[in-house]
Amino acid sequence: MFKTLLVPVDGSEHAKKALAVACQLARQNDATLHILHIPEALAHETTLVWGIGAIALEASREDLERTGRQVVDRAAEDARQQGAPRVETIIAQGEPARTIVSEARKSGADAIVMGSRGLSDITGLIVGSTSHKVSHAATCTVITVR
């Protein structure tokens, strides 16, 4: 039984699927859902699921955080519409895998629900994806959604 769930979102299709799974688990367990976003500049163009465009590589920290706030706010709105009983949002800075694990510990998460792929570049294929790194470092259950 899960009391606290953490779901990192980046606006990707995989993150949206992970959010849906996390919402289902939150409803079934009357759990608190923590939605985490770690603002990053992307080296390529993409369209985010919640209708927010990609941020240029040279974007300021303020631009990244403003867009990050939009991403978590839309994800939180989606989560509430999907019946998540309690939703909290987090904007954090740092290397994604370490930050996800750190935020899971801070929030006392029983599980991290995340997409198997996100919006990061091809580096993930070479040095390992964020979901792979998190699953090796986390001390709680990690549910990877494809």
pLDDT recorded at residue 10? 87
pLDDT in tens, 40-94: 755 544 444 455 555 555 567 787 788 889 999 999 999 999 999 999 999 999 8
How many residues can be counted in the chain? Answer: 146
What pLDDT is stored for residue 11 in this prediction? 83
Picking from 105, 118, 135, the residue whose alpha carbon sits closest to that of residue 6 is: 105
Distance CA 110, CA 135 (A): 13
Query: Is 63 exposed, middle or buried (CB count within 10 Å of its CB: 0-12, 13-18, 19+)?
Result: middle
pTM: 0.80
**Average pLDDT over all residues of the chain:** 81
CA distance 144 to 146: 7
> Under 8 Å CB-to-CB from 14, ≥6 apart: which residues?
114, 115, 116, 117, 118, 145, 146
Q: Where are the domains of the chain?
A: 4-145
Q: What is the CATH number of domain 4-145?
A: 3.40.50.620
CA–CA separation, 22 and 33 (whole Å): 7
Q: If DSSP codes are grouped into helix, strand and coil, which group holds residue 139?
A: coil
What token pair was written down for 53?
Answer: 């465009």
pLDDT at 36 over 50: yes
